[in-house]
Structure 1
Amino acid sequence: MLQPELAEKIVTEVQKLISEEIIVVNTNGIIMASTNQGRIGTFHEGALITSQQKKKLIITEKETLKLAGVKAGINLPIFFQQEVIGVIGITGDPETVTPFGEIIRKMTELLISENYYGEQFEYHSRAMETFVLEWLQAKEPSPDLLERARALAIDLALDRTAVIIEFEQSPLSRVVWSSILNSFSQNKNDVLTRSGNERIIILIDCSNSVTIKNRLESFLNFIQSSFGICAYAGVGQCTIPSKLHDSYAQAERALKLARRNRGIMFDEELTLEMVTGELTAETKTEYIQRTIGPILKEKDLLETLAELFRQNHSLKNTAQSLHIHINTLHYRLKKIEELSQLNPTNIHDLFCLYLATLFLDE
């Protein structure tokens, strides 16, 4: 329970409050951490007595002659869940350091409690993440997976929708993670876990009557308003248990567009992205070079092309949006054709240019 690393942390934190020598001792009387490095690993009889009697021990100068490894000061038992797990000692005149005793002990016990529950949170998070990732990869749950599901009270027989939420900022602190995970409005059958330090995976019970979009919008708004963290979500389609990995793959695909639009994207809303999402980054890069490669350094031409698509190929609206004369727009489109050998008035060439600008945005 009380490990050397935690003992060192306690000494460091207590040292911020008082300048006296501090020691942290285990229940066997061995000093684990100290502001005096030379005392680490030595025996402290006073701490052993404190641990056994479970009460404060004041050590005077006279008693230092009787007890092994001690200095004048005060020893206080450290309690966790009503058991003594160690002792903290403050060296100095007992009358001077005793008033600090209860404050130091409470602070120490709070640090230990915080560390314990933090470790429990990390352990549970890792266990849940491992379970969910194995579940998503398994077409048929193994006996071991079924047993772990029962232990976690997770029903593997429900139809579910996979959701992936991704954060722009990472890594997130343990406190922020805990608040975020606890704030999602879960149906009792929903399964939620973090994935790495920038994602959340949610496997939502399809029978829940509250729409997924409303729940996700509220969740993402909470994250933004509470922590200033921008997040977006990709949502797969509802599927039977044996096809859950397909829903997860759909959520991954939708997340790519959600990342670009900084919002929530449902796989069922994808059309062209269903095809383009399957292309590798290398293929997209090569496509860009083959199509608009000659105008990549022409900023005004790229802006014109992008605005043309934003304005749904309306030349009038494009010129107005760019604050240029219509003749200037015609000149730029002609220049694009000359350099790329793709004519923006030809439907085939226009589509090729549109794909190139999509890939360039990515």
Structure 2
Amino acid sequence: MLSPHLAKKIVSDVRRLIDEDIIIVDTNGIIMASTDTTRLGQFHEGAFLVCQEKKKRIITKQDENILRGVKAGINLPIFFRGDVIGVIGITGDPKKVSPYGELLKKMTELLIQENYYTEQLQLEARALETFVFEWLQARDWSPSFYERAQLFHIDLTMKRRVIIASFHENEPSLSVDMWKYVQNMWNEQRDIIVRWGNDRLLILQTDEDKERTTAKIKTVQRALIEKYAVTLYIGCGKMVDSKHVHHSYKQAERALHIAKQTKKIVFDEDLRLEMCLEDISLPTKQELVKRTIDPLMHEQELLHTLRTFFANDLSLKQTAEALHIHINTLHYRLKKIEQYTNLHVRNLEHIITLYLAIRFLDETTKK
């Protein structure tokens, strides 16, 4: 309950209130944490007696010659759920430090209680994460799986959509505070929200309405930007029976990959071309780039022209305006692209090939 790490944190927090030396002692009378590091690990007879008597003890100058390892001050028992779990001691003139005693004792007990509930929350969160992981892996549900679902109050008869929310790779790791904040913002008891690694949240959603889901996600995204200055990318799978959430999970992964590129909330059911492109292996994408636009790699102006051409839906007029060039210059550049690649911009198959090559080039370059 009262670990050395927690004791050290308490001493650090309490030290901000007073200048006197502070110690935290375990129930065996051993000093666990102290502002005076030379006292760590020493036996403190006064604190040991406080644990036995369960009441505070004033340590006088005379006691320094009688009791082992003590200094003048005050020792107070730390209680948790009715039991003494340690002692906090303040070194100094008893008359001077006594007024601080009860305040620091109460503050210490509150810190211990807060730490306990945080640990319990983390244990429950990890248990739920383990359950969800098994849910996504298992194809047949065992009796114990059903029992744990009941313990977590999870209805396995409901349809669910898997939503994966991912933080930007350069932003802080997902904290317990962020996770709880999203849970409170989401505010749907039937849905399950778990931390999924250091930078992801996994949501098993029960609402089939896409518009409501999109509105809720946008609200959470805005709130996280305002409170934590973090960006959330969202990929959503399809609604499926609870037995088939693994399918929705794979769809959410695919949608998330597109969401990171487009900076939009992506539902897998809305994917068309992207759905096919995601299944193409990286070596195949690289080979297509090599066979098509590799001769343009040292012609950045032509590559930029081609990207702009696609960004403006193959409109010559809009592309020329976007590039701030005369349309005849654009015709010249497109002719050069055709010469380098042997692919013609007026041929449907060729233009699709060029589009895919540019897309794969940008994708593989980022990777």
Q: Report the Cα distance in structure 2 between the residues aligned to 1:303 and 1:348, rounded to whole angstroms.
A: 21
Number of the residue aligned with 1:113: 113
Contact 1:231-1:262 within 8 A present in 2 as well: no
Number of the residue aligned with 1:246: 247
The DSSP-based 3-state class of the residue aligned with 2:78 is strand
Q: 1:290 to 1:114 in 2, by over 3 A?
A: farther
How far did residue 85 of structure 1 move?
A: 1.6
How far did residue 82 of structure 1 move?
A: 4.0
Number of the residue aligned with 1:69: 69
How far did residue 351 of structure 1 move?
A: 0.4
Q: 1:216 to 1:333 in 2, by over 3 A?
A: same
Q: Report the Cα distance in structure 2 between the residues aligned to 1:185 and 1:179, rounded to whole angstroms.
A: 10
Contact 1:26-1:85 within 8 A present in 2 as well: yes
Q: Report the Cα distance in structure 1 between the residues aligned to 2:258 and 2:81, rounded to whole angstroms.
A: 49
How far did residue 315 of structure 1 move?
A: 0.5
Number of the residue aligned with 1:182: 184
How far did residue 208 of structure 1 move?
A: 6.9
Number of the residue aligned with 2:192: 191
Q: Report the Cα distance in structure 1 between the residues aligned to 2:229 and 2:287, rounded to whole angstroms.
A: 37
Number of the residue aligned with 2:54: 54
Q: For residue 324 of structure 1, what is the amino acid of its counterpart?
A: I
* 319-328 or 35-44, which deviates more: 35-44
Q: How does 1:68-107 map to 2 (within 5 A)?
A: 68-107=68-107
The DSSP-based 3-state class of the residue aligned with 1:247 is helix
Q: Report the Cα distance in structure 1 between the residues aligned to 2:286 and 2:208, rounded to whole angstroms.
A: 42
TM-score where L is the length of structure 1: 0.93
How far did residue 227 of structure 1 move?
A: 2.0
Q: Report the Cα distance in structure 1 between the residues aligned to 2:277 and 2:210, rounded to whole angstroms.
A: 33
User: Is residue 267 of structure 1 aligned with residue 268 of structure 2?
Assistant: yes
Q: Residue by residue, what CA displacement relative to the aligned partner does 1:178-219 show, whole Å, maximum 9, x if unpaired?
A: 223322132x32111110121111111146797322222222
* 24-33 or 281-290, which deviates more: 281-290
The DSSP-based 3-state class of the residue aligned with 2:238 is coil
User: Is residue 156 of structure 1 aligned with residue 156 of structure 2?
Assistant: yes
How far did residue 57 of structure 1 move?
A: 1.6
User: Is residue 34 of structure 1 aligned with residue 13 of structure 2?
Assistant: no
Q: Report the Cα distance in structure 1 between the residues aligned to 2:229 and 2:39, rounded to whole angstroms.
A: 46
How far did residue 146 of structure 1 move?
A: 1.6
Number of the residue aligned with 1:218: 219
Q: Residue by residue, what CA displacement relative to the aligned partner does 1:114-169 show, whole Å, maximum 9, x if unpaired?
A: 32222223222222212111101111222222221111111122211111111112
Q: Report the Cα distance in structure 2 between the residues aligned to 1:356 and 1:341, rounded to whole angstroms.
A: 14
Q: Residue by residue, what CA displacement relative to the aligned partner does 1:42-84 show, whole Å, maximum 9, x if unpaired?
A: 3222112222333322111122233232111111222333432
Contact 2:235-2:256 within 8 A present in 1 as well: yes
Q: Report the Cα distance in structure 2 between the residues aligned to 1:224 and 1:218, rounded to whole angstroms.
A: 10
* 75-84 or 341-350, which deviates more: 75-84
The DSSP-based 3-state class of the residue aligned with 1:201 is strand
The DSSP-based 3-state class of the residue aligned with 2:183 is helix
Q: 1:125 to 1:293 in 2, by over 3 A?
A: farther
Q: 1:284 to 1:82 in 2, by over 3 A?
A: farther
Number of the residue aligned with 2:129: 129
Q: Residue by residue, what CA displacement relative to the aligned partner does 1:310-362 show, whole Å, maximum 9, x if unpaired?
A: 21111111111111110111111112122222222211111011112222332
Q: Report the Cα distance in structure 2 between the residues aligned to 1:255 and 1:334, rounded to whole angstroms.
A: 37
Contact 2:207-2:213 within 8 A present in 1 as well: no
Q: 1:152 to 1:38 in 2, by over 3 A?
A: same
Q: For residue 83 of structure 1, what is the amino acid of its counterpart?
A: D
Contact 1:231-1:263 within 8 A present in 2 as well: no
Flag structure 1 segments of 5+ consecutive residues without an equivalent: none
Q: Report the Cα distance in structure 1 between the residues aligned to 2:110 and 2:288, rounded to whole angstroms.
A: 59
Q: Report the Cα distance in structure 2 between the residues aligned to 1:193 and 1:234, rounded to whole angstroms.
A: 15
Identity among equivalent positions (%) equals 49
Number of the residue aligned with 1:334: 335
TM-score where L is the length of structure 2: 0.91
Q: Report the Cα distance in structure 2 between the residues aligned to 1:58 and 1:302, rounded to whole angstroms.
A: 81
Q: For residue 217 of structure 1, what is the amino acid of its counterpart?
A: K
How far did residue 247 of structure 1 move?
A: 0.9
Q: Residue by residue, what CA displacement relative to the aligned partner does 1:252-292 show, whole Å, maximum 9, x if unpaired?
A: 11111111111200111111111111122333223222222
Contact 2:163-2:234 within 8 A present in 1 as well: yes
Number of the residue aligned with 1:304: 305
